[in-house]
Chain A
C-alpha cells in the first residue's frame, strides 16, 4: 500500500536550482519544504563536474562537487528536508506526486510543486547518427560519471562531437582519464579550439563503425571531403533537452522552443500550483543561472502559499529562426527579470525585435556577439507594451 503524506512545498530535483530554491523557501518560513532526489547523493550535475568554474567569481570559483556540497548544506541548514534515493515517477492528482524509494511507494501532496529536474544531452540515437551500435559511445554526462564517480576505463582514443563549452569539459575529462583526444568535430562553421586537439568545423559525423567496440567515426566535411577517424570512444556533447517527463506526464504545457515547461516570469507553469526552475526550463545554463532562477522562484511560491491567485494564461512568447528559444516564454506575469534568448547562429550586434499581431512593440541593437552556446539576456521593460489579450509575441532578428 502506498503511503500518503502532505507537505507545503515539494521540489523535484536536488540540483543547484532545486536546492537554492529550497534554501530560500525554508529560510523564509514556507513550512515543510521537501526536496526529492532520485540519485543516492544530492547536488545534481555538479557532483560529477570535477573542474572549477562553479558559483560566482566574486567568491572563489568552486569545483562542481564542492559547489554541490555547499548547496546541499545551505538547503538543509535553512530547514529544508532533502531526501535522496527517491524518484518522482508520476502524478496521482494535480498537486500529488507518486514516488518510489527503498521505503516503498508514496503519494506526496503539496501546496506547491516545483519541477527542478534538470536537463541532459541528446544521445547518439536521438541525433540519428547512423552506423553500427558498438560500445564506447557516450555523452558528457556518462563520461564524467564513468571517470569521476566510478573510475572506469573509457578507452584509448576518443573523438568529441560538439562545440559548446561542455565539449571542452569532455576533452579535459578524457585527458584526465589518460585517453588521447583525436579530434573535436562540429557541424558549426566556427568554434573555439581546445589547445592541442584538432578541431574539425563544418563537419558531420556520418557513421559510427565497429563491432563490439567502436573502431572509428566516419566524418564528412561540408565541402564533400570524407574520412574516418580511428578511435574506440566517441563522446556526444551538448544538444540539450530538458528532463521534461514529469511535466508532460502531469499535462504541464511545454514551450515548443525550449521543450521545457512553458513558464511566466514567476516560474508558473500552465498548471495551478506547479512551478518549474533551472535547466528543466531550457537546457544547460551555468549553475549560477539555474540557482538564481531557483532563488527568484521563492517569492512567487510564497505568494502562492499565502493564497495569491494563479493568473490566467497570457500570450505566449515565440521566436523566429535563427533564434531557438526564449525563457520564460509566457507573458501572463510581466516580471522584471531578464529573459534568456538563444540563437542557432552566431550574431554580431544583432537588432532584436518583438512584435504582436503585426505591431512592433520593441526594437533594439545588441552591442554584443551572440554565440549558439551562450544565452543573451533580454531586458524585460518593453513587456509593458504587450496586449495581454492579444496573440503571440514574436521575437525576431532584423
Chain B
C-alpha cells in the first residue's frame, strides 16, 4: 500500500521500492526522524524505515517531555554539547513549526541536608556545562514559587531555561518535513539482517532494501543492528520509567518542572506540567531484560505515589488520566554511544538515553557530519519548506476556541473528544495528513483524541469509528 500525495511517499505494506538509496535511516523515533529531516536537505535518495506502524512509536512517545538545558549533563561529554545545541535548535524549530513549548523553568528541590549541600555543586556543574542562569534560592522563595509544595523543602536551584515540549508533535514534524522533502518513509518494516559490500542490503519484513550509507537509530535495538554489522562495543539495557499522568484539573497545583536533586540512582522522580495541561509524576528507573516490557507495575505506581505525596500532596487527590512507561536505552556508559564506521559507510546512534528528545536536532547535524566522513556527498544542501503543525498545546489557541477558523470550517467547532476538546476537523486533518496515523493511538498522539480523563467513556466509539472510516 503506498500513500502518495503530491509526490510524498509513505508506505505501510507490500514490497519496498527497488534501486539503491543513498542513505537509509533505521528507526523513526525522534532521533531517526531528525536525522532523516537533516538529510532531506541534500539532493539524495533517502529512506527512513521503522518496524512499527507509526513514527515515534518507541521510546519517543513515552518520556517526560522536557526540553532540557543540559545544566546537569556530564561536563565535556558529547551529550552535554549536543543537549546544549539541541536545546537551542529545537527551541527555534518549535517556534517556527508550531510545536508547543512552554518555558516554565525548573526548580530542583532539596528535601534534606544532604540534598541542600549538593546544590552548590549542581550550580557549579551547570556553569561547566555552559549554562549560567541557574541560581540557588532559599526555602522561602521555593515556597513562594510553589505554594502547594509539601512541607520540609530546605531550598532549591532555579533553572529558568528548562521547558516542557510536545514530544509527539516533534517527531511528527521532523518526519512530515522529511517526507515532504522527498524522503521515503517505510513503516511496518523491520530490519532483520544486513549484508554489506559495496552497498548494504537490508533484509526486512517487507523484503530487501539496498542502500549505500546506513544510519542505525534503532533506539533500544541499536546494539542488535550493530551486531549485524559486526560491532559489539555496547549493549543496551532497557531502563524502564513508569509515569502517572494526572487530570488537567490538577494543572494549577504546579508552576515549574519540579526536579529532585539527582542521586547515584539517576535523575529521580519529578513532577511536571505537560503542554496538554496535565501534571505528570515519574519516572521510575528499573533495569530490565525485556526490551518490550513497557508495562506498569503495582510496585512502580505505589513508589510514585509515595514520592509524589511528599512533593505535592494535593496532587494525589486528583484523578489519574493515564499511566504509561517508557524504556531508556541505557548502555552502562555515561555518554551517548554515537560511533562512525566510515569504511562501512555506517553510523550508529546508540545509547540516547534520557535526553534524546532535546538533543535530536543536534544529534542529526552531528550524524550528517559523520556520514560525510564516510564519503556521503553533502554538497547542495537547501533550505527545507517550513512545516506548520497542528497545535496540541493548551497554552496556545486550540481550534475549538478559534472563532475565525470555525467560521471558515465549522468542523473545527464540532467537538468529538470532550475531555480534550478535540474537533472533528482536527481528526479529519490528522487522518489525511502527510504521515497518517497507523492506529487509534497514533491518532491520539496527533490530536489528543481519547487521551483525556474519560479514556473513551464518552468518545471512544466515535473516535474509533472516524479512524476506521478513513481506512476503508
Contacts and interface: CB of A to CB of B under 8 A. Distances in A.
Nearest to A105: B403
B460 A142 contact: yes
A373 B244 CA distance: 29
Interface residues on A, range: 35 or more
A120 B458 contact: yes
Interface in A88-143: 89, 100-105, 120-126, 128, 130-133, 135, 138-139, 141-142
Contact of A1 (B322, B324, B403, B411): B403
Interface stretch (A19-27, A67-75, A145-153): A145-153
A104 B406 contact: yes
B403 A2 contact: yes
A124 B418 contact: no
A245 B249 contact: yes
B296 A150 contact: no
A152 B301 contact: no
Given A103-B410, A105-B406, A132-B295, A139 B464 contact: no
B467 to A, nearest CB: 11
Interface in B447-472: 453-458, 460-462, 464-465, 468
Main secondary structure of the interface of B (DSSP, over half): mixed
A176 to B, nearest CB: 15
Contacts of A130: 295-298, 300-301, 323
Nearest to B292: A211
Given A38-B418, A105-B401, A206 B298 contact: yes
A123 B456 contact: yes
Nearest to A245: B249
Given A120-B454, A145-B460, A100 B400 contact: yes
A146 B245 CA distance: 26
Contacts of B413: 100-105
Contacts of A383: none
A131 B296 contact: yes
Nearest to B413: A102
A207 B321 CA distance: 18
Contacts of A133: 294-295, 324
Nearest to A87: B415
Interface residues on B, range: 35 or more
A125 B320 contact: yes
A102 B456 contact: no
B457 A38 contact: no
A38 B294 contact: no
Nearest to A130: B296
User: Quick one: which of A85, A105, A121 has the most chain B CB within 10 A?
Assistant: A105
A89 B400 contact: yes
Nearest to A212: B439
Interface string B275-288: 00000000000000
Nearest to A141: B457
B7 interface: no
Nearest to A1: B403
Interface string B395-437: 0000011010011001101110011010000000000000000
10 contacts: A104-B413, A105-B401, A120-B458, A123-B454, A128-B301, A128-B323, A131-B295, A138-B460, A139-B457, A146-B460
Interface of B: 244-245, 249, 292, 294-298, 300-301, 319-324, 400-401, 403, 406-407, 410-411, 413-415, 418-419, 421, 439-440, 453-458, 460-462, 464-465, 468
Q: Which 5 A-B pairs have the closest CB atoms?
A: A102-B410, A123-B455, A141-B457, A145-B461, A142-B460
Given A89-B421, A126-B320, A132-B295, 12 more contacts: A1-B403, A104-B406, A128-B244, A128-B323, A130-B298, A133-B324, A139-B455, A141-B454, A142-B457, A146-B461, A152-B461, A241-B319
